Structure 1
Amino acid sequence: MSVQTAQADHNRWRAHQMAKRGTPATTIAKHLGIDPDSVRRYLRQPCPEQPHSQDQSWQTRGLCAQRDCGVEPDAFFPGYGANIDPRVKALCARCPVRYQCRESAIVHYEEFGVWGGTNASERRLLRRQRRAQQGVA
């Protein structure tokens, strides 16, 4: 399987997971860095199996995965440089999978959205701090 095919399958899988939580196609597109037409095309196709290299089973236990969490999906993907909605921060603060969520976002270089109560800037800072502690430039 080519790298491009693997990336497309990963994006298709993630698009389906986000759509199940009620996330609009435009927000999914922004999160994945692709155009909304690609998202709509992905969602017309069957959901592929979860990529083996990325166990994301914790996501179904996240408070944000619950349709009645009290926060609309768009709130988890504020525009670039926008402040995180306090309701999102509060939900993340009491989420049972906050650590896994944040760690997954750090490891997978999530550049959009709130993951584990952190935005992209906070995650970049955490990555830099970890590299400095490990003595890696």
Structure 2
Amino acid sequence: MNKALKAKWIWRYGNEEGALWRSVIDAKYGFGDEQWWPRRVSQSHGCSLWRGIMEMFQTFKESISCRLGNGSRIRFWTDILIGNLPLCNQFPQIYIISDNRNATIAQFCHRVEEESQWNLQIRRTSFDWEVDELNAL
């Protein structure tokens, strides 16, 4: 199967939430770490069409960009938003004290008129050495 066709199937997986074929993939392999991507196939035996498609996954992921939209499907800490690492790796001290490590951007950011207001749901007052990391975030 050529690379373009494999990439198209990965793209369709992310866009066709209600499709029967996607439900079959989800039932067989489960969801991945992100809601938009399928879980990688780890079976070492047998013939798997989906495993062949997912061989293209890393190249596909590096070649696209996503729009934020309303932020309800993008996890603030664990999805890669800036650079090549998720924010939980870039700002580990703040991640540790976050009350909601699986929160989406929509859960942390609220629009008030034309401004975005962030509430990262930190469980305690930040220490001085954490404030620098919080400000960088």
- Same-fold call, TM cutoff 0.5: no
Give the structure with the higher percent strand. Answer: 2
Instruction: Give 1 or 2 for the bigger CA radius of gyration.
Output: 2
The TM-score with structure 1 as length reference comes to: 0.28
Give the structure with the higher percent helix. Answer: 1
Q: Which has the higher contact order (CA 8 A, sep 6+)?
A: 1
